[in-house]
Amino acid sequence: MLYTVLDAEGLIAEFTHAVAAPFVPEVQLYLADELVPVWHATEWRTAAPQPPPFWAFAWPGSMALARFVFDNPAFVAGKRVLDYGSGSGLAAIAAARCGASDVLAYDLDPIAAIAQRLNAEVNGVQLSIVTGDATLATTECDVILAGDVCYEREPAEATITWLRGQAARGRLVLVADPGRHYAPTDGLELLETYQLPVLRELESQELKRTRLWRLLNL
């Protein structure tokens, strides 16, 4: 990717603004109102095809995880937390605000790392931020948050295999999913169901039922 940090900050400044996260007003995020302009600008400025700017939106997964963490802080307080496919960093920021001892935001997209840093700053929290494939992560942690990361078949299979491996090692793995096709269907304990406000442009509806599970150690 041809992006410099300065370019990414400029992109974020131009196409997003800091607002209270939907359903999680405790957190401020730099969010976009529309997908297409920020996606086109990302591709134009990098002169290359790019994945959607996931970092510019609060997806239902991290809304659910962040809401759950604020309402149940004991799940993360004093714990080392890894946010898998962190996007904007919403779930990671919620964990940091609720007393996690260390929070790692992991995402493939280097622009997400810049957005996470800016979002952490506006909320006055510190995150450790890693750009890379989280299925290769070897970081020690106690709790893994995985919000809305089952939207493509092969990556979802790799993700679920990695998450199940973590659960088998005794880590608490919380998965939140709004009904994506490749989400896991078994080995789950349902903890919460939310009706979450979403952008019609992204989801073709305005409310999205999203479930939050603990992945069982089978």
Ligand X SMILES: C[S@@+](CC[C@H](N)C(=O)[O-])C[C@H]1O[C@@H](n2cnc3c(N)ncnc32)[C@H](O)[C@@H]1O
Between 24 and 80, whose beta carbon lies closer to ligand X? Answer: 24
CB within 8 A of 102, min separation 6: which ones? 80, 81, 128, 141
- Which residue has 């089978």 as its token pair? 218
Q: Which is nearer to ligand X, 79 or 175 (CB)?
A: 175
What is the closest distance, in whole angstroms, from the C-beta atom of residue 60 to ligand X in the complex?
Answer: 7
- Nearest by Cα to 93 from 32, 26, 172: 26
Please identify which residue in the block is written with the tokens 């919380």. Answer: 174
Closest to 171 in 3D by CA, of 140, 129, 127: 140
Q: Which stretch binds ligand X (CB under 6 A): 10-18, 26-34, 104-112, 199-207?
A: 104-112
Q: What amino acid occupies position 55?
A: W
Nearest to 58, CA basis, from 15, 104, 27:
27
- Residue number with CB closer to ligand X (79 or 116): 116
User: Among candidates 124, 65, 140, which has minimal Cα distance to 95?
Assistant: 65
In the region spanning residues 146 to 185, those forming contacts with ligand X, defined by CB under 6 A, are 147-149, 151, 155
Adjacent-strand bridge partners of 209: 195
Q: Which of 29, 38, 82, 90 binds ligand X (CB under 6 A)?
A: 90
Smaller CB separation from ligand X, 79 or 145:
145
Separation between Cα atoms, residue 155 and residue 150, nearest integer Å: 7
| Distance in Å, CB of 218 to ligand X, minimum | 22
Q: How far is the CB of 82 from ligand X (least distance, A)?
A: 10
Q: Which of residues 17-76 bind ligand X (CB under 6 A)?
A: 54, 58-59, 61-62
Nearer to ligand X, 19 or 108 (CB): 108
| The two structure tokens encoding residue 2 | 């041809």
Residue closer to ligand X, measured from CB, 87 or 160: 87
Taking CB under 6 A as the criterion, the residue among 16, 86, 123, 210 binding ligand X is: 86
Cβ atoms within 10 Å of 141's Cβ, excluding its own? 19
Q: By the criterion CB under 6 A, which residues form the site for ligand X?
A: 54, 58-59, 61-62, 85-88, 90, 106-109, 112, 133-135, 147-149, 151, 155
